[in-house]
Amino acid sequence: MKVASFNINGIKARLPALLDWLKEAEPDVAILQEIKSVDEGFPRDPIEELGYQVETHGQKSFNGVALLSKLPLEDVRRGLPGDDGDEQARWIEATVVGENKALRICGLYLPNGNPAPGPKYDYKLAWMARQKARAKELLDQEEPFLMAGDYNVIPQDEDAKRPEAWTTDALALPQSRDAFRDLVNLGFTEAFRACNTAPGHYTFWDYQAGAWNRDDGIRIDHFLLSPEAADMMQDCGIDKGVRGREKPSDHVPIWVEFAL
């Protein structure tokens, strides 16, 4: 089973690019972030024509996450527990059943947090605390699951072409990195780093200042695997070339293959 994550940066603007990638990469499950669409406005038909079941948790003009699956999705849940007043669409869960085992998929779009310090950064850290609490609940079940998406966290300096440019940014502040590290230390495997420890691998390049042409990127899209899911991982990679295509997202897909 191939599971991919892709911050699409506006589903309506990037639909042709998404469809091309789905046909080429053929993920069994795709986790999307920043769909920027209400549920009823999501362009389901062309995606369903490719054989995907579509589940969305949308929001007008901002945020929004979705799951696309060639296999049935069961027990779909929308919204990260822990704050009934949180109206931002940033979390979706479902279980996908493979030939032999089931895998719980948690798709997320973690808050950016800028400017920091400030209320947006407070929200980011509080959201990460809620994610940690949900992760503990799922770990207690001792079943395979993953949490994947745009984490808006640069874990270490080697995850940025120019780490000095990010020292005061919410994506790389010590509190952000500490919260991410605390999450991983619950017992997760950070899939890409488990397969590749070298620097120079990125998932985001800004549209401004020729960042793509200079490979001035950062790695902020991550897969965290529970111990049971990590045991089934076969490979993890980044589809970097997607960024150089026509009307691209500023992110590229990252994927993990499982023996499931």
150 in catalytic set: yes
CA-to-CA distance for 43 and 54, rounded, in angstroms?
10
CA-to-CA distance for 165 and 39, rounded, in angstroms?
37
Check 52, 121, 150, 159 and give the catalytic one.
Answer: 150
Q: Which two tokens stand for residue 109?
A: 């779009």
Which residues does residue 218 pair with via DSSP β-bridges, in sequence order?
A: 160, 204
Burial of 198-209, coded b for 16+ CB within 10 Å and e otherwise, reads eeebbbbbeeee
CA-to-CA distance for 178 and 124, rounded, in angstroms?
13
3-class state of residue 194 by DSSP: helix
CA-to-CA distance for 205 and 91, rounded, in angstroms?
23
Where is 126: in which H helix or E strand? Answer: helix 119-140
Check 109, 121, 151, 202 and give the catalytic one.
Answer: 109
**Beta-strand relationship, 102-109 and 145-150:** parallel
CA-to-CA distance for 55 and 37, rounded, in angstroms?
13
Closest CA to 214 of 244, 253, 234, 246: 244
Catalytic residues: 109, 150
